[in-house]
């Protein structure tokens, strides 16, 4: 499904996590029409504990005609440093569910903070 992914494997606590998925037809750069889809993202620690959730209207924005899903999520300043896992789950307008972009991300200490 994805023709391009912007990846950031290392994030700093307290920063805004910005990420984008572009959904294209296989072998082309023609975007899927994402009208009517729903999406959510879970960030989990390595023990499978839910740390953060992004949903439509809370961190996720879908631009249907561009086949684009954008993430903008503020990471807590007191977030525990270490490795986390996440993926993007899409529920299509016909009820089909698919998972995309499963990744591991490292949360690092930022040096400029209060």
Q: Is the pLDDT of residue 1 over 80?
A: no
Which of 35, 44, 39, 45 minimizes the C-alpha distance to 21?
39
Sign of torsion over alpha carbons 88, 42, 17, 55: positive
Distance, CA of 32 to CA of 28 (rounded, Å): 10
pLDDT score, position 91: 96
Which of 85, 82, 73 minimizes the C-alpha distance to 48?
85
- pLDDT tens sequence across 74-103: 999 999 999 999 999 999 999 999 998 889
pLDDT score, position 100: 86
pLDDT score, position 25: 86
Name the residue ranges covered by the structural domains of the chain.
Answer: 2-108
Structure tokens at 4: 């391009």
Does the domain spanning 2-108 belong to CATH 2.60.40.10? yes
- pLDDT tens sequence across 16-75: 999 999 888 888 889 999 999 999 999 999 999 999 999 999 999 999 999 999 999 999
């Amino acid at each position: 499904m994805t023709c391009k992914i912007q990846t950031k494997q290392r994030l700093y606590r307290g920063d805004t996590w910005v990420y984008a998925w572009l959904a294209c037809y296989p072998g082309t750069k023609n975007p899927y029409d994402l009208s009517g889809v729903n999406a959510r993202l879970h960030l989990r620690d390595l023990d499978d504990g839910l740390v953060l959730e992004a949903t439509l209207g809370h961190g996720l924005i879908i631009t249907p005609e561009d086949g684009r899903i954008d993430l903008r999520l503020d990471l807590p300043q007191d977030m525990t440093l270490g490795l986390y896992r996440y993926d993007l789950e899409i529920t299509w307008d016909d009820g089909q569910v698919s998972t995309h972009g499963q990744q591991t991300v490292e949360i690092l200490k930022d040096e400029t903070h209060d």
